[in-house]
Amino acid sequence: MAKLLGLRCRECGAEYELQATHVCEMCFGPLDVVYDEAALKKKVSRERIEQGPSSMWRYRDLLPVEDDTPLVTLGEGFTPLVKADRLGAELGLRNLYLKNDSMNPTNSFKDRVVSVAISWARAHGFETIACASTGNLANAVAAYSARAGLECFVFIPVDLEPAKVVSISVFDPNVVAVRGNYDEVNRLCSQLLESTPWAFCNINIRPFYAEGSKTLTFETIEQLGWKLPDEIIIPIASGCQFVRHRQAIRELIDYGLVRDDRVPALTGAQALGCAPVYNAFKSDTPERVLPVKPNTIARSIAIGNPSDGIYVNRIVLETGGVVEAVTEDEIVAAMRLLARTEGIFTETAGGVTIGVLAKLARAGRWKGDEVVVAYVTGHGLKTADVLASVDGHARRVEIEPTLKSFREKVNI
Amino acid sequence: MTVTVEATDLGSAIDELEKRYPGFKDRLLDQQGQLRQFVNVYLNDEDVRLGAGLAAKVSDKDEISIVPAVAGGT
C-alpha cells in the first residue's frame, strides 16, 4: 500500500494528486504532502527507527518516498547532538545542547532536504534538477545531482561568497549567476518553471523537499532519549524548515514516539540586516510579514520575502517562543564564542542562531535548568571571509626556530 | 504566459484581466480586496508591497509580473 495519499493546501484544504507542484490553484496557498496516518500509526515505532541506518533515512517511514523508491543518499543526517557545557556555563544554561548539522556531507542542513527532493524527482522521471539558492542549497543540489547522475542547474546571486562558489562548482553543475539578490533569483526561477521540465528543489517539488527538514527534529528528540526539550532555537530564512519542525513534533507525539505532549517553545533567529519575520513579530500584526531588502553577512538566510513567515509567527506564538534578531557584530562574536567554548566552527547563519541564544540567555529568558537546543546549520569554512577581515589572530606570535626566541616571545 | 492590457493603475489592470479571465480577481485578491498573502506582484521588478500596492500607477511598456509567493528557502 502506498503511504503517500496526495497533496493538500495548507490554507483552503483543496486536495491534489501527488505531482510536482507546490501552489494551490485556488488560493496560491502552499501544498503539503498527505500521508496515510492510520497505516503509519501501526507501523512506526522507536524500535523500528533504532534499527534503521545511522542517517536521516532511519525516519524513512515519515518521509515522502515509498518503501521501494531508490534513494539518492550520501549518508546525510544523524549528526551529533552535543551537550554544550562550556557554552552553557557562559550563558547560565546547565542543559544546553547543540545539533551540529554542519557535519552533513556538504556541511549544511540542506543535505537533508535535497536527499529527499532528488530521490523523489529521480523516481518520478525528472532528468534535470535545479534550485534557487543562497549557496548552501546549490552546494547540496550540485553534489546530490552528481551522485544521482542527473543534469543540474543552480541559480545563485552573482555576489555569493567565493568559498561557496568553489564548493558548488567542483561538482560541475551549470551555474547561473544572476545579477540580483536571492529574492530576485527565486522569482526568476518561479517564472522559469512554466517553460522548463525541471525539478526545482525548492519550488515545484518543494512539498517533498521541505519534508526532509523534519529529520533534524526527529533526530534531536531521539538523541535526547526520546524526550522533548523545553525550547529549540532555529534560524529563519524562508521559514520553511521552521514549519516542518513544528510538524515533526506533532508527528512524534501522534505516533507515540514520545510520551510527553508538552510542545517545546520554538524560537526563531534572524539577522537584523534581514529580519522581516522579526519585524512582524515585534509589530501589532505578527501575521503581516512585509518584505525587506537584505543586507547582512548571514547570506545563507538572507531572504527578504519569506514565504512561510506568517506560519513562523503563528507557531512561535502558539508554542510560547519568540523571534529575536542580532547585529552583524553579534553574529561574528557568536561564531567566535561557539568556536572558543565548544570547538565548533559555524558559518554566519550559525552565528545568528548562537547570537540569538546568547542574547536571550543574557536577557534572563531561562532560569538555568531548562533543556535548550540550538540548531547549528552550516560550517564556518563556507563564510570564513567574515573572520579573515577582522582581527582573527589575537594570540598569534611569530618566532625564530630557536628555544631562545620561543622563551622571549611566549609566556607560558 | 504574457498578456497585454490597457490600464492606468495596477488595480485597474487586474480588473481588465478579470474581464478576460472571469474568476481571476478572486484568486488574486482576498475579501478585503487586498493582494492575497501568497501571491507576489511586481511592477517592473519592484515588489508592489514595497511601494504603492494596488494603487501603483502604470503606463505604456510597464511590465507587471504575478508570481506565486510560495517558493525558495527551507
pLDDT, tens digit (0-9, with 9 covering 90-100), for A231-244: 999 999 999 999 99
pLDDT one-digit tens code per residue, A90-115: 999 999 999 999 999 999 999 999 99
User: Is the Cβ–Cβ distance between A100 and A344 less than 8 Å?
Assistant: yes
All cell numbers assigned to A284 = 501589532
Q: Which residue has the cell 528557502?
A: B73
Q: Is residue B74 part of a domain?
A: no
Collect all residues with Cβ–Cβ distance below 8 Å to A297 and sequence separation of at least 6. Answer: A271, A273, A328, A331, A332, A348, A383, A386
Average pLDDT over residues A143-155: 98
CA distance A359 to B54: 40
Q: What is the pLDDT of residues A39-90, one digit of tens each?
A: 999 999 999 999 999 999 999 999 999 999 999 999 999 999 999 999 999 9
Question: Which chain A positions have a beta carbon within 8 Å of B70's beta carbon?
Answer: 22-23, 28-30, 206, 307-308
**Confidence check: pLDDT of A269 > 70:** yes
Q: Which residues of B touch A241 (CB under 8 A)?
A: 74
Helix A162-169 vs helix A136-148: crossing angle, to nearest 10:
10
A114 touches chain B (CB under 8 A): no
| Residue B51 domain flag | yes
SS3 at position A284: coil
Pairs of residues, one from chain A and one from chain B, whose beta carbons lie less than 8 Å apart: 91
What residue in B sits closest to A114 (Cα-Cα)? B74
pLDDT of residue A26: 87
Q: Which residues on chain A are in Cβ contact (under 8 Å) with B49?
A: 290-291
Residue B52 maps to a domain: yes
3-state secondary structure of A114: helix
Banded model confidence at residue A312, pLDDT cuts 50, 70, 90 = very high
Q: What nine digits make up the cell of A238?
A: 524562508
Mutation test of the interface with chain A: which of B21, B44, B67, B70, choosing the one with the most A Cβ atoms within 10 A? Answer: B70
Is any Cβ of chain B less than 8 angstroms from the Cβ of A136?
A: no
Range of the domain at B19: 10-68
The average confidence (pLDDT) of chain A is 95
By Cβ distance, the residue of B42, B72, B74 closest to A110 is B74
Q: In chain A, which residues have their Cβ closer than 8 Å to the Cβ of B36? A: 27-28
Mean pLDDT of B17-43: 90
Kindly report the pTM of this predicted structure.
Answer: 0.95
How many folded domains does chain B comprise?
Answer: 1
Interfacial B residues in 28-67 facing A (CB < 8 Å):
36-40, 42, 45, 47, 49-50, 65, 67
Residue B17 sits in a domain whose CATH number is 3.10.20.30
Chosen for mutation from B2, B41, B74 (greatest number of chain A CBs closer than 10 Å) is: B74
Q: How confident is the model at residue A304 (pLDDT cuts 50, 70, 90)?
A: very high
Beta-strand (E) ranges in A255-339?
265-271, 323-326
Which ipTM did the prediction report?
A: 0.88
CA distance readout (Å), A251 to A35, A53, A62: 11, 20, 8
Neighbours of A38 (CB within 10 A): 8
Q: Is A277 on the interface with B (CB under 8 A)?
A: no
Are residues A167 and A106 in contact, defined by beta-carbon separation less than 8 angstroms?
yes
How far apart CA A175 and CA A153 sit, in angstroms, is 6
Give yes or no for A375 touching B (CB within 8 A): no
First to last CA, chain B: 28
Shortest Cα–Cα distance, A309 to chain B (Å): 10
Q: Is residue B39 part of a domain?
A: yes
pLDDT of A389 reads 59
Q: Is residue B4 part of a domain?
A: no
Q: What does the DSSP assignment read for A24-88?
A: -TTT-PBEEEEE-HHHHHHH--HHHHHTS-SSGGGGGGGSSS-TTPPP--S------EEE-HHHH
Neighbouring-strand partners of residue A97: A83, A373
Q: Count CB neighbours of A328 within 10 A.
A: 19
Neighbours of A250 (CB within 10 A): 13
Q: Can you tell me the mean pLDDT for A388-398?
A: 69
pLDDT of the residue at A1: 63
Is pLDDT at A393 greater than 80 in this prediction?
no
pLDDT digits (tens, 9 = 90+) for A167-188: 999 999 999 999 999 989 999 9
Does the residue B54 lie in any domain? yes
pLDDT confidence of residue A14: 97
Q: What mean pLDDT comes out for the span A178-200?
A: 93
What is the spatial distance between Cα A227 and Cα A81, in angstroms, rounded to a whole number?
13
B23 in A contact zone (CB under 8 Å): no
Does residue B3 fall inside a structural domain?
Answer: no
Tell me whether residue B34 is in a domain.
yes
Contact of B3 with chain A, judged by CB distance below 8 Å, is answered with: no
Contact of A279 with chain B, judged by CB distance below 8 Å, is answered with no
Taking residue B15's Cβ as centre, other Cβ atoms within 10 Å add up to 14
Q: pLDDT band for position A367 (50/70/90)?
A: very high
